[in-house]
Structure 1
Amino acid sequence: MARPSSSSSSSGFFLICMLHSAIAATCGALMMFYLNEIAVFGHGRETATKLQGSTPHDQLLIQTSESFAGLLLFVIGFLLFMVAFVKDRDFQAFFAKGCALLHAAMALWRVYFERRLEDLARDWPRQLVGDLVLSLSWVLFLVYSWREKYD
């Protein structure tokens, strides 16, 4: 039996997906095409230089790896764009739980591993806040949809 879909939870899901899609696609495109500029903007000139590698071979490997990571992030943004149009409330809740867990896992990664890297030690708190805010957006969607479901 099909449940009536609520337009407010669907519109909330749509907005969150579109926001996350825009963030992921933009960051991915910037990583692919403006890696050095983004590294300087995000980490500062000295740290960005250290992160580029010391030999030409290392620099090529790091640049290729970062470009593929940017491509993956861009594809994730595109997938989020497509998922934004799904109207099934059960899928929306399942997807939101998965996204919240993914962002929480990234936050844990930053706390337990990135903070130990000397070159990234000053950047991880800011990135941790970003991960928690992105996760919170999915959690708030879940709370709102649960409230709507049980009221």
Structure 2
Amino acid sequence: MSSSSGFFLICMLHSILALGCGALMMFYANEVAVVGHGAEVATKLRGSTPHDQLLIQTCDSFSGLLLFAIGFLLFMVAFVKDREFQSFFARGCVLLHVSVAVWRIYFERKVEDLAYDLPRQVVGDIALAASWVFFLVYTWREKYD
């Protein structure tokens, strides 16, 4: 079976986003928090004691490392040529992005300092899921035309 150039393109775009965001989270977590949440909220999110600050910084670094690894995985998957795998992978990505959006709506909104950014982040999660849905619709159209 032949592959789709749309899959390669979407994987590469998502990979670049994940690699960039992961690197920023690992090395510039405080600056990213200030840009994303504002200076006042970023100060609150850093923690109040040195122990809390170290735990939060370690958590941010590992989260960034995980995101970087996901970006690298997306880069590798972009070169897979099997259409059945591409469709399976795209459905899994849709499920993952929708799950993250639901998690944000149900749990993250309870954190008062993060609730302000919730709509923007949920729209971002849905937009990432929509890119995979568009790929699935495109391949479905190609398959049945």
Place the TM-score, normalised by the shorter chain, in its bin. Answer: over 0.9
Tell me the equivalent position of 1:58. Answer: 52
2:17 matches 1:31 = no
* Alignment size in residue pairs: 145
Distance in 1 separating the partners of 2:89 and 2:62? 24
Tell me the equivalent position of 1:101. Answer: 95
Tell me the equivalent position of 1:131. Answer: 125
Unpaired stretches in structure 1, ≥5 consecutive residues: none
Aligned-pair distance for 1:140?
0.4
Aligned-pair distance for 1:54?
0.5
Tell me the equivalent position of 1:140. Answer: 134
Tell me the equivalent position of 1:111. Answer: 105
TM-score (normalised: structure 2): 0.98
Percent identity among equivalent residues? 76
Distance in 1 separating the partners of 2:21 and 2:48? 25
Amino acid at match of 2:104: R
Moved over 3 A (4+): none
Unpaired stretches in structure 2, ≥5 consecutive residues: none
2:6 matches 1:12 = yes
Aligned-pair distance for 1:116?
1.4
Deviations 1:62-82 (A, max 9, x none): 000110000000000000000
